[in-house]
Structure 1
Amino acid sequence: MGFSLLFSFVIAAGIYSYNFSEAREPICSKFAYEEQLLEKMIRTEIKVETMVNEIKKTEDNVISTLGDIKQTFTDMFVDMRGNITDEMLKRGDEIKRREESFKKLFDVTSKNITSDIEAQLIQLKEKLEQPPVAFYAHHVKDLALDSTDEIIIFEKTFTNEGTGYDTSTGIFTAPVGGLYQFDVHSCPDKGKHTYLGLVLEGNVIAAHAYDADNTCGCNTFGTVIIVKSGEKVWVKSTWSSSNCKLFQHALRMNTFSGVLVNN
């Protein structure tokens, strides 16, 4: 519709221009006037056709340009969408990889922690199930210390948890290995001597000597030592003579005690 209006305008302008020129040009004859009018109409038609062609070219250029712009934006969008999709896929793969790595690490850590806790619980259960080890023996069977290396037998017990002490031999056998504390309390007879030693597996680990005087005192000695399960501890006379003797009654007791401090 726009093109038709433009064409009508051009025709009208040509006719008006012709009429204006005709008024100024001398008319020679009827045929001369028609020839001039025809010539001008032809020229006008040629100009209009030229203008139409130019407009058509311009329109084609605009349409082509718009098509190129549209295609450019389409290509850009496709590229952007492709790049975004690729980037998202890469990020997704990276997140998945990290999740799998974290899951493996968590599983290994959880398994190790669980194993450690189970081992500690087993050890704690074993300790709780183990009976306490402690003994407190008294009343020496033979008060005369007339034989060197003689084992002092305390034939009665107030406490014997774990049944490690044997009242028939005077020897304590550790039912559980660990840190033990042992104490020996001895009361020499008046005017007599005592030379006693605390023995672990044949080795004296603590000792005490008392020289006679006119007093009647008692003495205590002991030690804290690691004892393995099954090892034996006892008290013996480290030196003897007819002048070596113990004394005991309700107020002066000879005792041998031991307790498991830690295992």
Structure 2
Amino acid sequence: MLLHLPNMFLLMNIFHATVAREQSCPACSRYDFEERLLERVLRNELVIETMLKETRETNVKVESALKLIHEDRSRLEDILDSLKKSKIEIDTEINGTLQGALKNMSNALVFMEHLQKEVGTKLDNTIKTAMTNISDAVAEMTQNASKTGLQLKKETEILKDQLTIPFIYFHANSPADYSLDSGQDVIFTNVRVNEGQGYDPKTGIFTVSVPGLYLFTVHYNVYYSTYTYLAITHQGIQIQPSFSHSVSGEFATFSMQVFIRAAMSDKIWVESTHRDTKLHGSDPHNSFSGALIHM
């Protein structure tokens, strides 16, 4: 009813305003005027009803929004209460933790002081013991060093005597055979010099007694129209081979030499590398020699 009273007043105002704007028309009848007036009133009433409906919907939305705001406010108040309780609990826990930490630190300081005193006493004893041990060790080392010096001096003198390098040199001639087969060793039977006793005239082999660099030389004679195949051999390996053939005159002299780095007990000799190897000439013209030139 309260809503209808304003509507009625509004309709009356609209009616008076409409009548005031209407011009007098002598030709229009009274009923025609009333019909047009009623039509306008109905249209205005429909407009007002529409406005009232929209106003009610707006009121409903506003009330819903207010209700949601009240609910959000209640939730926020609950959250604030929970945060206050959590803050109180956290403050209590922090205070308890700090008090416990302070107590532990106090206990740790007391323990450190006690430990420092104990360690200091042990350290002093350890240092004294170490100094005593060092002093004894130094005295023992001094005594041992003196003994070691004397021993080294004696050993040095012995080594000097042992380091005397022997003079290694040999020269032999006069082959046992002048006609040789393949693989046959040439045995020079006449030994002119054999310093170091490395050459064996029974086998024709030189055995190394002092390792080092050696120079070996072979001289041999070849008769006219004969062939000679020889090689200086080291440990079964032909180091320096030689081939010769005299094509003019009665005979010709040839030679070969090689450097060999030999180890202790290595063996070097001269051998024939082909069948029907022929040598010729007097004894001095066929020889085998060697010498140690560097250690």
Structure 2 length normalisation: TM-score? 0.46
CA distance, structure 2, for counterparts of residue 155 and residue 247 of structure 1 = 15
Q: 1:262 and 2:294 equivalent?
A: yes
CA distance, structure 1, for counterparts of residue 199 and residue 173 of structure 2 = 11
- Please say if residues 217 and 258 of structure 2, whose CA atoms lie closer than 8 Å, have aligned partners that are also in contact: yes
Which of residues 116, 129, 140 is equivalent to 2:175? 140
Q: Percent of pairs identical after alignment?
A: 30
Which of residues 268, 281, 285 is equivalent to 1:248? 281
Q: Considering only aligned residues, what root-mean-square deviation do their CA atoms show, in Å?
A: 3.2
Q: Offset at 1:262?
A: 2.0
Whose relative contact order is higher, 1 or 2, with alpha carbons under 8 Å and at least 6 apart? 1
CA distance, structure 1, for counterparts of residue 156 and residue 257 of structure 2 = 33
Which of residues 202, 210, 213 is equivalent to 1:179? 213
Q: Offset at 1:118?
A: 7.8
Q: 1:209 and 2:250 equivalent?
A: no
- Equivalent pairs counted in the alignment come to 158
CA distance, structure 2, for counterparts of residue 200 and residue 184 of structure 1 = 14
Number of the residue aligned with 1:127: 163
Number of the residue aligned with 2:61: none
Q: Offset at 1:138?
A: 0.3
Q: 1:199 and 2:233 equivalent?
A: yes
Runs of 5+ consecutive residues of structure 2 not aligned to the other structure? 1-140
Number of the residue aligned with 1:224: 259
Q: Offset at 1:125?
A: 2.6
- Please say if residues 216 and 290 of structure 2, whose CA atoms lie closer than 8 Å, have aligned partners that are also in contact: yes
Task: Report the secondary structure of 2:161's partner residue.
Answer: helix
Whichever structure has more helix as a proportion of its residues is 2
Q: Offset at 1:182?
A: 0.4
Structure 1 length normalisation: TM-score? 0.52
Number of the residue aligned with 2:19: none
Query: Structure 1's 224 and 121: CA in aligned 2 closer, same or farther, altered over 3 A?
Result: farther
CA distance, structure 2, for counterparts of residue 232 and residue 193 of structure 1 = 27
Question: What one-letter code is carried by the residue in structure 2 that aligns with 1:247?
Answer: H
Output one character per residue of 1:67-104: Cα deviation in whole Å (capped at 9) or x when no partner.
xxxxxxxxxxxxxxxxxxxxxxxxxxxxxxxxxxxxx9
- Please say if residues 139 and 248 of structure 1, whose CA atoms lie closer than 8 Å, have aligned partners that are also in contact: no
Number of the residue aligned with 1:155: 189
CA distance, structure 2, for counterparts of residue 160 and residue 201 of structure 1 = 21
CA distance, structure 1, for counterparts of residue 264 and residue 188 of structure 2 = 22
Output one character per residue of 1:207-254: Cα deviation in whole Å (capped at 9) or x when no partner.
11102312321111111111111111000001122xx3101216x610
